[in-house]
Structure 1
């Protein structure tokens, strides 16, 4: 007798050419965060043609679909992201981006096509579902604002759990990375404004050089983690912009530094701003300058619930996939905002690519699309059974 698991695999394989065509169309016409208007139209059209019910998300971009099972039960959510990056593609693919300076360099077109596949599989098997599956195609992940907008729009109302993924180029097709606990880091942004006293480059004693002060702050912040954060915790401070001056022979009045802090542990995240403020202000004062730290909290860490991770492990095993322990990354993901409200699991999906995310020559193996579609349909069925 054919099981639903084997049926998902077989159905997904039959869908593969259609899903590949969808992915390539999205790839040719990438749109940036909160500008995904044509992408939204395409998704609505494809889902409607498949007989999948659309909900009113109430946002300019993004799509929320729903598959209702024939039997009562909980509601769970599958999530994909749909935005592209301001990157000029250099892959030479026949379906490369047609829009200069824009590219699906993070594989969100792959995520989207995979979740369309999962939606189609679930719709075709709705008679066997005990509950409801919402499929979210989220805008603006790259700017870390899309999930918050979706939450404020009420898309999580009545949802019991959420599942998502990111492609992983270094994992081969057929392999998934799953882990309990932190998988992706929290994301915070800082800006440091240094105020000195400008003057002539040949008379530095009459000035307070903000470039020297800024450089000293950069050096001092390199010890912030090693001497203020527990060695049992993980954290990164990266200063990615240092700007000061406009002439070769003029000491400027001001300098500005900008960067990011990444952590896995809430305790570390909570303590770093205070440590950084102390270092920044005191280093500047030691040079007779002033410095102000402006801190912007953006995203918590992606933190997988043990039960939801077990569901993904069960689904992957049912689909005959190779499961490995997911290696955490200091990259961030606004999927974490859903996990602040719901138990959820975010996984790595092996795509056997040649370059890392955000690279102009980023590619992936499209054979992973049907595999991903079947896996998330399977995960939805498992979740509805467990939570029902």
Structure 2
């Protein structure tokens, strides 16, 4: 039996009123974290901020070394358990004082680190949700597990925190990522693939050095690489399924330092991202085949510093959980907040959690052209619209309540390999 329009309106009004009470709290935390960013596995102050807030809220917690912080909110009624996850780390880069239009409200005080991906907002929203849930635990059915992950950007904290979460156990997981190209206040909880699987690589090509005046007496690794790169660009047309999304790019190249010396070696690195594992496997094999043949043609050799190895790791919103999330968004924010968005071709450690727990990774829009907000993630001009943070809190709280109250079976088969075996499977040399 569906809700009447009057009941729906009342629940929406109550939800937003509850969240408004923590709005200033969340914004204040976000600004504090933004001023003092710390990169992966160096989040000492950030962890102190989180644990200090958990203490004030009388939420029991533990610090997982090189993993993050886990807090537990036990409801007064028996039930299921749900993980709510946020990430703590910043990026190793200098932030610009201006966004796309004007001076930002807060700017990093550290020239070597900046929250230019929105993790400060993620952590602040989770603490805001924790405050509401802890104050209402007498009405809560089940257990809420708060997971604040270190080192998401470089994947250095996921093993330890997920290993501990697997020991604790849970029935599902929820996370939010702010999104710079979705209009402010809109939220996507679409089912299916949401972020890409990937493989990365670092490769050395070795030729024979020589004087620039006699290239015939040398073997140029630069010539070899440019030929390889030309063939790599044709791989999509000649070898990959045109109906399966895939992107790939070279991110760095280094060779030589003097204009009249042909270098001995060339190093290059890059990534490949895909939404279908079989497509990733085909790309990996074709990449290696082209590299081998081109190096042979140019009489060069190659060495994998980090071997390309396709991984079966995707952020994937489980269909039953996505259905719960959709109704939660409608209840807490209204139907007009729902936004359908295609998969994001970036990658996220949230994919590891979803190997073991069914759940949803939501995209919350922060694009606001009037405020000059909309620069891409990892861009020095990146900024976020603080007005949407309360909406992320509302959606998080509502999903938590709805998930814990849900009695329908969730169709999910967890990963059978242990986390150690899973990491060994994906380990790259």
Task: With the length of structure 2 as denominator, give the TM-score of the two structures.
Answer: 0.86
Once the two structures are superposed, the pairs formed by residues 343-362 of structure 1 within 5 Å of their partners are 343-352=358-367, 353-362=373-382
Q: Do structure 1's residue 48 and structure 2's residue 61 form an aligned pair? A: no
Give the direction of change, closer, same or farther, for the CA distance of 1:373–1:280 in structure 2 (3 Å limit).
Answer: same
Cα 1:313–1:154 change in 2 (3 A) is closer
Change (3 A) 1:195 1:357: same
1:373 aligned partner:
393
- Look up the match of 2:159: 148
Residue 357 of structure 2 corresponds to residue 342 of structure 1:
yes
Deviation at 1:136, TM superposition (A): 0.9
Number of residues paired by the alignment?
387
Other structure's SS at 1:83 match: coil
1-structure distance, mates of 2:64, 2:87: 17
Aligned-pair CA distance for 1:156? 5.9
Partner Cα separation in structure 2 for residue 211 and residue 286 of structure 1: 13
State the match for 1:178 in structure 2: 189
Unaligned runs of 5+ in 2: 1-6, 98-102, 368-372, 409-429
2:26 aligned partner: 19
Aligned to 1:295: 307
Task: Describe how 1:187-266 pairs up with structure 2 within 5 A.
Answer: 187-266=198-277
1:226 Cα deviation after fit: 2.2
Stretches of structure 1 that go unaligned for 5 or more consecutive residues are none
| Secondary structure in structure 1 of the residue aligned to 2:333 | coil
TM superposition shift of 1:181: 1.1
What's the offset of the Cα at 1:5? 5.5
Following superposition of structure 1 onto structure 2, how do residues 87-98 of structure 1 map, counting pairs within 5 Å? 87-91=93-97, 92-98=103-109
The change in CA–CA distance for 1:230 and 1:149 in structure 2 (over 3 A counts) is same
Q: Please tell me whether the aligned partners of residues 366 and 374 of structure 2 are also in contact (alpha carbons under 8 angstroms).
A: no
Partners of 2:122 and 2:105 lie apart in 1 by 20
Q: Distance in 1 between matches of 2:164 and 2:266?
A: 40
CA drift at 1:4: 6.3
Are the equivalent residues in 2 in contact too, given 1:299–1:333 (CA < 8 A)? no
Find out whether 1:308 has 2:300 as its counterpart: no
Secondary structure at the counterpart of residue 325 of structure 1: coil
Q: Secondary structure at the match of 2:126?
A: helix
Classify 1:50/1:151 alpha carbon distance in 2 versus 1 (closer, same or farther; 3 Å): same
The 3-state SS of whatever aligns with 1:39 is helix
In structure 2, distance between residues paired with 1:367 and 1:156 = 37
Is the contact made by 2:211 and 2:262 (CA closer than 8 Å) also made in structure 1? yes
CA contact (8 A) 1:36 1:61 kept: no
Residue number in structure 1 paired with 2:136: 125
SS in 2 for 1:159: coil
TM-score (norm 1): 0.95
Q: Secondary structure of the equivalent of 2:143?
A: strand
SS of residue matched to 1:48? helix
- Map of 2:403 onto structure 1: 383
Structure 2 residue 77 is the aligned partner of structure 1 residue 85: no
User: Is contact 1:117-1:374 (8 Å) kept?
Assistant: no
* Equivalent in the alignment of 2:332: 319
74 and 341 in structure 1: CA distance in 2 versus 1, 3 angstrom threshold: same
In structure 2, C-alpha distance between the alignment counterparts of 1:337 and 1:61, rounded to whole Å: 14
- Residue 364 of structure 1 aligns to a residue in which SS? coil
8 A contact 2:86–2:122 mirrored in 1: yes
In the alignment, the residues of structure 2 paired with residue 117 and residue 138 of structure 1 have an alpha-carbon distance, to the nearest angstrom, of 16
Q: Deviations over 1:15-64 (max 9, x none)?
A: 1111111111011000001100010001100111012221x243146211
Mapped to 2, the partners of 1:37 and 1:194 lie a distance apart of: 40
Contact 2:90 2:119 (C-alpha < 8 Å) held by counterparts: yes
